[in-house]
Amino acid sequence: MSTKKDKFSIKDKFYMELALDLARAREGLTGPNPSVGCVIVKNDELISIGQTSYNGRPHAELNAIKNSITNLKDSKMYVTLEPCSHHGATPPCTSAIIRSGIKEVIYSVIDIDKRVKGKTFNILKSKKIEVRKELLKDKISQFYAPYFYNRKKKLPYITGKIAISKNNLIYSKKKRKITNLLSDKFTHFLRYKNDSILISYKTLNKDNPKLNCRLKNMEKFSPKRIVLDNNLQTNTGSYLFKTASKNNTIIFYNEANRSKILEFNKKKIVLIKSKLNKNKTFDILLILKKLYNLGCRNILIEGGNELTKNLLNKKVFNQFYLFKSPIKLSKLTEFKEFNGLNILKKNYKKKSKVNSNFGKDIITLYKS
């Protein structure tokens, strides 16, 4: 029987790294399903690759099998996550693997899904297929941290970000631009990697943001827009309101008159009534549970000072990016300071500082 002490060759590691690269390329784009990468090798030659399809199906293993133009008999499959073995919306990947003639399967991480967890090994072994596991386990487990969190907590994985000036301002009427173009591109990359983005109506009305991904050829992967708006005060002349369409915009509200509700319904905005806490703010845990049930798995929160500080206090973020510019903003006119830095440093651990690719801007990643 194979154990975690099994030795893997340099070639084995190379092919699993390739499978991980394939999974990373689809991260955040596979709906409620995890992004998986799969590589098939025969006679030490790469003959096929597969990734989880957009929105989650077909799975990576089935795509790799279908993509091959070579007979798969006696080939070897490398896959980042334990292949599924249960009947769901589609037949199990184990059935396709057995039919294909593949002689060996190496997967890195055991799936946390109870319908699959640990079952694949015995199913494939019973069909005389050699099975090994835990190749690059630590590295690939880190990649699947958001997926594990989703499954364990039944909540979306939350990424936060805020940009501040050298003197800790997030806004100055005299000069509103804080970070440089390189940092802006990273922001759009985060939008590309998250299926949803959340802001408050105050940020929406003040900045009139687009909240889309504007990286070349990635525009179609813009996240679903979510707005927290107690009384439906969202500006109907805003970009978000004008571009709202079925399934791309959700607004959580507490109270509003009927005419206002009808106006938003006509734009096909999904309105969800949600209760407030004693301090007249939304119960964020209830909102996140609702969003999970609606299929949101990775949410980017681009809040202002008030929302960000509140969520930092409640330890809502799984990870948080602090963008800091070398530019000082003026306090001579209307300005807004970010006063959540102490909370961030108290409740979160600094993991890395990345500034080599962002000019003079410094981006620091914090983890819960």
Residues 6+ apart with CB under 8 A from 229: 200, 201, 204, 251, 252, 253
Task: Check if the beta carbon of residue 189 is closer than 8 Å to that of residue 366.
Answer: no
Residue 345, both tokens: 């440093």
Residue 138, both tokens: 């630590």
Among residues 204, 307, 309, which one has the least CA distance to residue 250?
204
Catalytic residue, chosen from 61, 82, 134, 302, is 61
E strand intervals along the chain: 37-42, 45-51, 76-81, 104-109, 130-133, 157-164, 169-172, 196-200, 224-228, 249-253, 270-273, 298-301, 319-324, 335-337, 349-354, 362-367
Residues 6+ apart with CB under 8 A from 225: 196, 197, 199, 211, 240, 244, 248, 249, 250
Q: Is 61 a catalytic residue?
A: yes
Residues 6+ apart with CB under 8 A from 37: 18, 19, 20, 21, 22, 23, 24, 25, 26, 49, 50, 51, 60, 79, 80
Report the alpha-carbon distance of residue 349 to residue 303 in Å, rounded. Answer: 20
Residue 124 β-bridge partners:
none
Q: How many CB atoms lie within 10 A of CB 346?
A: 9
Residue 57, both tokens: 């199906």
Determine the 3-state secondary structure of 169 from DSSP.
strand
Report the alpha-carbon distance of residue 206 to residue 209 in Å, rounded. Answer: 9
Quick one: residue 333, left, alpha or beta (phi over 0 = left, psi -120 to 50 = alpha)? beta
Residue positions annotated with a catalytic role: 61
